[in-house]
Chains A and B, each alone.
Chain A
Amino acid sequence: DVVLTQSPVSLPVIVGQPASIFCRSNEGLVFSDGNIYLNWFQQRPGQSPRRLIYKVSSRDSGVPDRFSGSGSGTYFTLKISRVEAEDVGIYYCSQGTRWPWTFGQGTKVEIK
């Protein structure tokens, strides 16, 4: 299975400040069609997961533009340009390139 390792595991942030979450894969994630199916999900307390970013850097409809994704090869980043209180939750990277799809272990974002 593809192993995704996220860092940090816990991320205390100050409202208005930027934050970055990293995701490293143990193997390349380029699919046969040339796409990299690396997604980012947000799970707020008591809610279902919600996809924020797909194919490394494409933002889902309705997702604030303070969220952005980047990366290549085996190293990917989710950046929040200015954290807001509503961003509290657990963030997961996930790959859909190879079955079984896998998630990273999650990064818990909390407000300082």
Chain B
Amino acid sequence: EVQLVQSGAEVKKPGESLKISCQGSAYTFSNSWIAWVRHVPDKGLEWMGIIAPDDSDTQYSPSFHGRVTISADKSINSAYLQWSTLEASDTAMYYCSSRPRDVSVGPYFDFWGQGTLVTVSS
């Protein structure tokens, strides 16, 4: 069963804006962190930021702070990653993932979306 579903691939020009989405369920969004991860081939994976949809508590990795905005709408179990001004260097696959906020005791889930490929080219 697919737990997180991401929006489709995007092709944009430098300077354009973009908002991609990640939709889950109450199970994956309540009491959870939703994370965004960037994957550039040959550069590996990078955690960009996390948001708790319950209270919109958001934390950004310093590498991405000010470059992207992470938001969520708890009412529809959706999270978003947006850029106001895209650059060619933003070309990458972007994944969302979900895990509980409290992981101190016992096993805990870790779900990933299928990824959204963003291509920025003139």
Look across to chain B and name the residue whose beta carbon is closest to the beta carbon of A35: B104
CB-based contact B112/A48 at 8 Å? yes
Place the interface of chain A in its size category: 20 to 34
| B37 CB–A CB distance under 8 Å | yes
Q: Closest CB of chain A to B57's CB: distance in Å?
A: 11
A48 to chain B: closest residue by CB: B112
Q: Which residues of B sit under 8 angstroms from A96, Cβ to Cβ?
A: 103
CA distance A92 to B39 in the complex (A): 12
Interface pair A49/B37, CB less than 8 Å apart: yes
**Chain B residues, Cβ within 8 Å of A35:** 103-104
B54 within 8 A of A: no
Please report the total number of B residues contacting A with Cβ < 8 Å.
24
25 A–B contacts from the bound complex (CB under 8 Å)? A1-B61, A35-B103, A37-B103, A41-B45, A43-B45, A48-B95, A48-B113, A48-B115, A49-B95, A49-B97, A50-B112, A51-B110, A92-B44, A94-B45, A96-B103, A100-B61, A100-B62, A100-B63, A101-B61, A103-B44, A103-B45, A103-B46, A103-B47, A104-B44, A105-B44
Query: Contact residues of B with A, CB < 8 Å?
Result: 35, 37, 39, 44-47, 50, 59-63, 95, 97, 103-104, 107-108, 110, 112-115
Within 8 A of B (CB), among A38-64: 39, 41, 43, 48-51, 54, 58, 60-61
Task: Judge if A5 is at the interface, Cβ distance under 8 Å.
Answer: no
